[in-house]
Amino acid sequence: MTEEHFLNKVFASSGITKDELKEIIPRYKQVTFQKDDYLLKEGQVEKKYWFIETGFIRSYIIDTEGKDITFNLYGAKDVVIDYASIFFFAPSRENIQALTDCICWEITYQDFQEMFNTIDSFREQQRGLLVGSYFALKEHSISLIADQAKQRYLNFLKQKPHIVQNVSLKHIATFLGITDTSLSRIRKEIAKE
């Protein structure tokens, strides 16, 4: 996919005009990450964020027992960002790592802020992304408490089937708050239904 084609698709339904696109698109830079590359490590302050064109990325934390727990999973057209780090200049508490080779479009915080403050439709699109991310995080947090493991998996399967088909079960399991053994059992149950 060419730069223009991918970014035009990203911004297509956001009300951004062709003239505004001419200002926005050059601010993005295509970058590639190899499998296992880090986009951000715990303790670093995030200064960029990414749209994924191809590939899969995860964010994870290390819990109090030293276990690696997947905090979020991302695929094509998702925005990868640690909001607290980039907007509050706080050291990140998570690690963001490529699960596969990835092509992404990155923008610096400085370019983001400049366009956020000068292009109304860009600001609205970005607010929409932020609000959507917040609600997804809130729904996931509630689901971890209120839903059975099988229902959490079914919801995730419905929302992000491309991730379920392409990401390791151990990462999906920790994201859903269960063991990979439990996830395997749930998947077998569902297959029999």
The rounded distance, in Å, linking the Cα atoms of 111 and 192 is: 51
DSSP tag of 41: -
Whole-number pLDDT of residue 14: 77
Low-confidence ranges of the chain (pLDDT < 70): 1-4
The rounded distance, in Å, linking the Cα atoms of 134 and 141 is: 11
90: left (phi > 0), else alpha (psi -120 to 50), else beta? beta
Domains of the chain: 3-119 (2.60.120.10)
Contact 73, 133 (CB under 8 A): no
Whole-number pLDDT of residue 4: 61
Contact 21, 11 (CB under 8 A): yes
Whole-number pLDDT of residue 3: 56
Contact 56, 99 (CB under 8 A): yes
The rounded distance, in Å, linking the Cα atoms of 58 and 75 is: 9
Q: How many residues are present in the chain?
A: 193
Whole-number pLDDT of residue 173: 97
67: left (phi > 0), else alpha (psi -120 to 50), else beta? beta
Whole-number pLDDT of residue 2: 53
Q: In what order do the strands lie in the sheet with 79-80?
A: 29-33, 102-108, 48-54, 79-80
Four-CA torsion 175, 83, 42, 99, nearest 10 degrees? 50
| Sequential DSSP letters for 145-177 | HHS-HHHHHHHHHHH-HHHHHHS-HHHHHHHHT
pLDDT digits (tens, 9 = 90+) for 64-99: 999 999 999 999 989 999 989 998 999 999 999 999
